[in-house]
């Protein structure tokens, strides 16, 4: 498979992953000369390199292609843009995986790892794999998610709040959401203003109608990246994970995917993709939690194939789970190309 060297340079303007991408390209030691003349190379001048596929065709559903199953209704991890094209964080993460493995990429829609992999519709599944078992193996984690706090800062300063602060504030939350459950678990009894979706919560935060928004971190990060004064404050609970799963019986593919996932994590590619979709919200959500919150490690952060009783009860609640909470409107999807 041919790859354009430096194809991830567009992510350099987006923060944390940029340094790693620049280092990989050997540019970290370059000095900037303000009098230099910059030109863009022609297509013929672009250096290409051939990447040998890391798996044989026999280990793939379609020769030369990594077929990835994901839930295409799980915005903003996977969704369709205004032109009907599949887009989202999980989609870009899958492309990075396939590129690392020297393969093309194709996508199929699936609600679970078992439905996609057991019937050999796909090579891997990216999504919630806590309930996976039997012949389904976890190959690693590519995203962390949790009920989180977002706030507004007029001068761009870093926000920091405590549970005590939240208890005296007005909080914007989605009606019948997992975020309300997270607040209750932390014994936060603040005044809540409820809205039908996360978009309305953020509009209320921007206008000053509420002091903070409590919502799913991925939905919040996706919206906050478009608002200069809105930023991530911290989590209220231990994060759950978006995992990568494969068939245990396909040892060759599982090892290749696991190695590729480690590779794009270590070299900063995955974090650069994270910056594109979730802005300045950190990849590692355990790095910044709300002061005073009782955040305990959950089974989902260490082993995606197991879940605690609390997780099971959350997923069976009438309200949406933390991985499903929030509505991303068509207007927000259309802003992807802005």
Q: How far is CA 287 from the centre of its chain?
A: 16
> Which residues, in sequence order, are CB contacts of 198 under 8 Å at separation 6+?
174, 213, 215, 216, 219, 220, 223, 325, 326, 327, 328
Domains, the chain, ordered by start: 2-144+240-279+296-302 (3.40.190.10), 147-235 (3.40.190.10)
Of the candidates 169, 198, 145, the residue with the CA atom closest to the CA atom of residue 314: 145
Residue 129 pLDDT class (50, 70, 90 cuts): confident
250/17: higher pLDDT? 250
Q: What would the pLDDT profile of 165-222 be if each residue is shown by its tens digit?
A: 999 999 999 999 999 999 999 999 999 999 999 999 999 999 999 999 999 999 999 9
| pLDDT above 60 (res 161) | yes
> Which residues, in sequence order, are CB contacts of 8 under 8 Å at separation 6+?
21, 269, 272
Q: Output the pTM of the full model.
A: 0.75
Distance, in Å, from the CA atom of 100 to the CA atom of 33, rounded to the nearest integer, reads 33
Secondary structure of 276-301 in the HEC alphabet? HHHCCCCCCHHHCECECCCCCCCHHH
Distance, in Å, from the CA atom of 73 to the CA atom of 112, rounded to the nearest integer, reads 12
Rounded to the nearest 10°, the torsion over CA 9, 11, 15, 17 is -80
């Amino acid at each position: 498979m041919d790859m354009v060297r430096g194809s991830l340079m567009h992510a350099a303007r987006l923060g944390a992953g940029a340094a790693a991408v620049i280092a990989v390209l050997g540019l970290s030691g370059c000095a900037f000369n303000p009098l230099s003349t910059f030109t863009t190379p022609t297509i013929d001048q672009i250096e290409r390199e051939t990447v040998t596929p890391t798996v044989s065709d026999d280990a793939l559903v379609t020769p030369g292609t990594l077929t990835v199953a994901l839930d295409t209704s799980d915005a903003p991890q996977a969704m369709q843009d205004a032109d009907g094209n599949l887009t989202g964080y999980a989609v870009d993460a899958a492309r990075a995986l396939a590129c690392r493995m020297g393969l093309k990429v194709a996508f199929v829609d699936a609600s679970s790892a078992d439905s996609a992999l057991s019937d050999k519709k796909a090579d891997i599944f990216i999504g919630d794999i806590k309930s996976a078992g039997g012949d389904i193996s976890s190959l690693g984690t590519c995203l962390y998610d949790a009920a989180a706090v977002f706030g507004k800062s007029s001068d761009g300063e870093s926000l920091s709040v405590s549970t005590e602060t939240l208890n005296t504030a007005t909080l914007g939350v989605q009606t019948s959401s997992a975020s309300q459950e997270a607040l209750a678990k932390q014994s936060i009894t603040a005044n809540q203003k409820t809205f039908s979706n996360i978009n309305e919560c953020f509009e209320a935060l921007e206008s000053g109608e509420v002091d903070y928004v409590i919502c799913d971190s991925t939905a919040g990060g996706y919206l906050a990246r478009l608002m200069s004064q809105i930023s991530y404050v911290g989590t209220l609970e231990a994060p759950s994970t978006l995992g990568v799963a494969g068939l245990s019986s396909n040892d060759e593919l599982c090892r290749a995917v696991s190695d590729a996932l480690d590779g794009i994590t270590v070299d900063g590619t995955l974090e650069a993709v994270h910056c594109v979709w979730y802005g300045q919200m950190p990849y590692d959500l355990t790095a910044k939690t709300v002061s005073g919150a009782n955040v305990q490690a959950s089974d989902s952060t260490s082993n995606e194939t197991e879940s605690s009783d609390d997780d099971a009860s959350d997923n069976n609640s009438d309200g949406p789970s933390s991985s499903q909470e929030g509505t991303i409107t068509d207007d927000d999807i259309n802003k992807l190309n802005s």
